[in-house]
Structure 1
Amino acid sequence: MKEIDDITGAIVDAAYVLHTGLGPGLLESVYEAVPARELEHRGLSVERQKIIRFEYDGMVFEEGLRLDLLVEDRVIVELKSVEKPAPVHPKQLLTYLRLMQLPVGLLINFGAPTLKEGLQRVVNHYSPSHSASPRLRVNQSSGEPK
């Protein structure tokens, strides 16, 4: 199993190569496809536009959220191509991390002048004993984990 820092390092490296090679201003779909392929070439598993099912308070949301990239089933990458990200974007990623019970996500804005300005690491200090709601289940059907 690859370490989180190795995975995030590979993601940042692939994003850097893309950002310096093509620059800002393209559609998010480009900034999703190119790093995904590069990460796969590096031997990492990557899922694009992964739909996440979750349940809350007895309500089932079959397509409750969609992840831009999920790398090695451990790191969520949320991609943007905007001049300035909204304050809600890191909060959105943190919600995704909490729902998925994952520790780390990367928010990458390819609209920034440099990757350094457009890169934000979001960390979830999730602990099952501190869950906000025991009524929340993610990617589960009939109470049984998939």
Structure 2
Amino acid sequence: MKKKFSKLSNLVIGCAIEVHKTLGPGLLESTYQQCLAHELRLNGINFQLEYPLPVQYKKIQLDCGYRVDLLIEKEIIIELKSVETLKAIHEAQLLTYMKLADIKHGFLINFNVKLLKQGLKSFVL
């Protein structure tokens, strides 16, 4: 299981790098989201775009309008940004999504950087 997960993570990062290499920084988050979705499709990676994420509160389920940018093979959550600087609130958002969805691995990807490795953060619960 661990090798498959690691391979999937590497494939996803490779797709994000390809999108960034092709487009560069400075575009809207929605553009990167659609292009990353296309790149994932080209690589045969299953995903869900704008995956709805309800909140469980005291035995009731609330649809509060939260959406995960990309849920990859029900194993990885990707939260995309195109901002000048990633902030602690962006990390908290991803970690909360991971807890709510019971997903152990997530990537926070900021495309508004010179090199994608500067905008890529990995989180494991």
Give TM-score, length-normalised by structure 2: 0.91
* Preserved contact between residue 78 and residue 108 of structure 2 (Cα < 8 Å): yes
How far, CA to CA, are the matches of 1:27 and 1:64 in structure 2? Answer: 21
What is the number of equivalent residue pairs in this alignment? Answer: 124
Point out the structure with the larger helix share. Answer: 2
* Preserved contact between residue 106 and residue 119 of structure 1 (Cα < 8 Å): yes
RMSD: 1.6
How far, CA to CA, are the matches of 1:3 and 1:32 in structure 2? Answer: 24
Does residue 1:41 correspond to 2:42, yes or no?
A: yes
Q: Which residue of 1 aligns with 2:113?
A: 112
Q: What's the secondary structure of 1:76's corresponding residue?
A: strand
Query: Which structure 2 segments of 5+ residues have no match?
Result: none
How far, CA to CA, are the matches of 1:60 and 1:18 in structure 2? Answer: 36
Query: Which structure 1 segments of 5+ residues have no match?
Result: 125-146
Q: Which residue of 1 aligns with 2:16?
A: 15
What stretches of structure 1 move > 3 A for 4+ residues in a row? none
Q: Which residue of 2 aligns with 1:143?
A: none
How far, CA to CA, are the matches of 2:35 and 2:109 in structure 1? Answer: 13
Q: Which residue of 1 aligns with 2:51?
A: 50
* Preserved contact between residue 54 and residue 64 of structure 1 (Cα < 8 Å): no
Q: CA deviation at 1:59?
A: 4.2
Does residue 1:96 correspond to 2:93, yes or no?
A: no
How far, CA to CA, are the matches of 1:98 and 1:8 in structure 2? Answer: 19
* Percent of matched pairs sharing the same residue: 39
Counterpart AA for 1:120: K
Q: CA deviation at 1:58?
A: 4.0
Q: What's the secondary structure of 1:26's corresponding residue?
A: coil
Point out the structure with the larger strand share. Answer: 1
How far, CA to CA, are the matches of 1:42 and 1:18 in structure 2? Answer: 13
Q: What's the secondary structure of 1:69's corresponding residue?
A: strand
Q: CA deviation at 1:64?
A: 4.7
The superposition leaves residues 108-146 of structure 1 with CA deviations (integer Å, 9 ceiling, x where unpaired) of 00011210100000111xxxxxxxxxxxxxxxxxxxxxx
Q: CA deviation at 1:54?
A: 2.6
